[in-house]
Amino acid sequence: MPTLSSAINASASALAAERTRIEVAVSNMANAESTRGPDGQPYRRRDVVLAPDRTSSFDSALGKAGAVGVSVAAVVEDQAPFRRRYEPTHPDADPEGFVTLPNVEPQNEMVDLIGASRAYQANLTAISLIRDLVSRALELGR
């Protein structure tokens, strides 16, 4: 069934997108204290921008819309200002004793991680439900 396969495509696209979100959240958390990157600057938090993927949703063979998928439109750097913390003994402390730290709040990253995991799980469930439907439909032909 064409529209059902579009539904599986949509769910599969979500798996890829949510996995990207998980990877970015984990990268943010891992670098929450990285004061000096390859460019000498602290790590800047990254954000995933999602957008609906309507190009593959219109099933021209049937003339009706299938399921709308999702895609990662971009991974951007969060332009929020860096944090500053007073720690004169830190090797990267400036002359006033302040360290410039990445603009990462670990608890926010955790929330994103959990949300992305739940969405990933839900889309996995969706795929198996659709697969069940298709196999039941095939039983009609027996």
Enumerate binding residues for other proteins (CB under 8 A): 1, 3-4, 6-8, 10-11, 13-14, 17-18, 21, 49-52, 57, 64-70, 115-116, 118-119, 122-123, 125-126, 129-130, 132-133, 136-137, 139-140, 142
Give least dist CB 15 to other proteins, A.
9
Closest to other proteins by CB, 65 vs 94, is 65
Closest to other proteins by CB, 14 vs 101, is 14
Q: How far apart are CA 28 and CA 12, in angstroms?
A: 25
Closest to other proteins by CB, 29 vs 70, is 70
Closest to other proteins by CB, 65 vs 80, is 65
Quick one: tokens of 59? 């099933």
67 within 8 A of 74, measured Cβ to Cβ: no
102 within 8 A of 83, measured Cβ to Cβ: yes
68 within 8 A of 54, measured Cβ to Cβ: yes
Give least dist CB 23 to other proteins, A.
14
Quick one: tokens of 73? 């439109």
Give least dist CB 70 to other proteins, A.
5
Give least dist CB 128 to other proteins, A.
10
The terminus-to-terminus CA distance of the chain in angstroms comes to 17
- Residue 59's φ and ψ, nearest 5 degrees, are -90, 95
